[in-house]
Amino acid sequence: MSTPPGCSSGRSRPVTSNSLFDFGQGFTDKGSYSSDTKTDHIELSYTVNGFGLAVSLEDPRDRNAVGYSETYGGNDNMPDVIGAVTYSSGIFKTKIAGAYFKHAVDIVNNRRDPQDGFAVGGIVELALDSITKGDKFQLYAAYAQNGNSFTGITGGSSVAGYTGYGAMTGGKGLDQVPGDSWSTFASYKHVWTDRVWSALTVGYAKFDGTADYTNWADREFDAFRVGGAVNFTPVKGLDLMVDAAYNKIDSDTAAIDGDAWSTTVWLKRSW
């Protein structure tokens, strides 16, 4: 069957790739705090005249959700349900996504009390060729309730990745701890010449725990990250990059307060 002009037909596919809720982490290599998770999922998508619609059912185990057991209780092992809308026109691109899931639990009378969770997030990207061809700017924000990987509190390039799980949660993984979290970042890429570009990313994330369980109660912290990168392409197919990021964590738990630097130097060769 032919597809009408300006449209693409819908498609459904099982994949292991970035979650539909992922927005990227900016233009630097370290990036900033946001969802950064590869999941097994089934995705249905449809695009028409610059608009895109997508729905995905994703494996909650890829986000360390707490499942159900007869002995301890827990969540009902339901898939994460995620929907997204995208739009692209000229210099403007955007994506808005929402999710419903069951990941976190509280502990009541030695039983896992399941917690409903949801998340919503969005990103806007502008192509700033009017400044220099190839310049781009991104602005992102997300909020989650009882789903810490959806805002980058846990996951790939996350707050937890710079602090360790144990000190924050009394020896338990932060993915399962109920609470409210949000994150935001701004990222700018500037092209200096056809061989050199640089980028700057600034981000912030916050977590407020809502658990009644004593070992998890009143967990709260703020996280700040700023990162920069410079990329040099001496010849076609060869990229050299230096990337550095600074992180600062302020918490009610003195064990995870502090600062951290990270630096990466990498080479990429493609043919």
What pLDDT is recorded for position 256? 64
> With 90 as the cut, is the pLDDT of residue 145 above it?
yes
Range picked from 2-11, 62-71, 254-263 for highest mean pLDDT: 62-71
Q: What average pLDDT does the segment 20-46 reach?
A: 92
What pLDDT is recorded for position 124? 98
Tens of pLDDT, residue by residue over 164-213, are 544 444 334 677 889 999 999 999 999 999 999 999 999 999 999 898 88
Average pLDDT taken over every residue of the chain: 86
Q: How many CA atoms lie within 13 A of 69 on its CB side?
A: 8
- Cα separations in angstroms, 154 against 150, 224, 248: 8, 14, 16
Q: Is 109 exposed, middle or buried (0-12, 13-18, 19+ CB in 10 A)?
A: exposed
What pLDDT is recorded for position 5? 36
Q: What gap in Å lies between CA 142 and CA 135, rounded to an integer?
A: 24
- Cα separations in angstroms, 201 against 20, 31, 142, 177, 206: 22, 7, 16, 28, 17
- Cα separations in angstroms, 206 against 33, 49, 223, 249, 251: 10, 37, 6, 10, 10
Tokens 């009902």 found at:
76
Tens of pLDDT, residue by residue over 216-249, are 777 788 999 999 999 999 999 999 999 999 999 8
**Amino acid at position 9, single letter:** S
Tens of pLDDT, residue by residue over 106-140, are 988 888 888 999 999 999 999 999 999 999 999 99
142-154 per-residue burial string, b: 16 or more CB within 10 A, e: under 16: bbbbbbbbbbbbb
- Does the pTM exceed 0.85? yes
What pLDDT is recorded for position 8? 42
Tens of pLDDT, residue by residue over 247-264, are 998 877 655 677 888 899
What pLDDT is recorded for position 22? 94
* CA dihedral sign, ordered 117, 158, 142, 169: positive
What pLDDT is recorded for position 224? 94
Q: What gap in Å lies between CA 89 and CA 86, rounded to an integer?
A: 10
What pLDDT is recorded for position 166? 46
What pLDDT is recorded for position 217? 74
Closest CA to 190 of 30, 32, 28: 28
Q: What average pLDDT does the segment 67-93 reach?
A: 90
Q: Would you say 143 and 151 are in contact if contact means Cβ atoms under 8 Å apart?
A: yes
Tens of pLDDT, residue by residue over 149-165, are 999 988 766 777 665 54
Q: Say whether 165 sits in a helix, a strand or coil.
A: coil
- Cα separations in angstroms, 116 against 78, 103, 177: 11, 8, 12
